[in-house]
Amino acid sequence: MTQDDVLSELEKHNAVIRNTHVVYTSGRHGDTYVNKDAIYPDVMAVSELCRSIALEFRGTNIDVVAAPAVGGVVLAHWTAYHLSSRSHPVRAVYAEKDACGGFVLRRGYADLVRARDVLVVEDVLTTGGSARAVVQAVRQAGGHVLGLAAICDRGGVQPEAVGSPPRLVVLARLPLDSWLEAECPLCVQGVPINVEVGKGREYLASRTRQNS
């Protein structure tokens, strides 16, 4: 799939929400949100996106595909499926958030990545924080990260921001503005925060606790 194909697929599924006021996982604010959850119910669309990722890593002998929970789980499975062969089945695992906000491999998954070649996959890169944490979790478990792939990069993320994997593959780039809360023009204008996507609901709940 070309970048135009990927963006067209996202638009077709109404996965790009514009002219809104969202809070991203990083805490920054913006006016556009890539709602990857809108495309996940379409199994064939997700399969094709993951096939494109897999094609980028053909011949690299990936043993395991790892992703952050929750959204990345389906990407790990489909990408592993497209990388697998009868002679070389590829495993799919996911990392979960720990008490400190990082990611950790539980459920015996650390044993599956130890001393193996791993591809990390993510849906959307904004700051790259979640992807970097999964890269770190794989390395801490003794896995060898051969690359990181994402469906969409909306933050202009560079390799060093995601743990400097040997390869960084992005199917589509959709550069969008974002602001710190103190600098957000939408907050100044009093535009309501969207609580249906992103971290808006948690953000408003936190503000309520602070003011109570």
Give the model confidence (pLDDT) of 15-54 as tens digits. Answer: 999 999 999 888 899 999 999 899 999 999 999 999 999 9
Q: Return the pLDDT at 152.
A: 94
Band of residue 150 on the pLDDT scale cut at 50, 70, 90: very high
**E strands present in 90-177:** 91-97, 103-104, 117-125, 144-153, 168-173
Q: Return the pLDDT at 126.
A: 84
Mean pLDDT of 175-203: 93
Distance CA 104, CA 172 (A): 28
Q: Return the pLDDT at 115.
A: 98
Is the link from the previous residue into 121 a cis peptide, with omega within 30 of 0?
no
Mean pLDDT of 91-110: 93
Locus of tokens 């193996």: 116
Q: Return the pLDDT at 53.
A: 97
Q: Return the pLDDT at 63.
A: 98
What tokens appear for 2 in the block? 């070309």
CA atoms lying within 13 Å on the CB side of residue 100: 4
Range of the domain at 75: 3-211
Mean pLDDT of 77-91: 96
Q: Return the pLDDT at 96.
A: 95
Distance CA 175, CA 172 (A): 10
Q: Return the pLDDT at 68.
A: 95
Q: Return the pLDDT at 209.
A: 84
**CATH number of the domain bearing residue 63:** 3.40.50.2020
Distance CA 45, CA 6 (A): 10
Q: Return the pLDDT at 105.
A: 96
Mean pLDDT of 61-78: 95
Band of residue 102 on the pLDDT scale cut at 50, 70, 90: confident
Structural domain total, the chain: 1
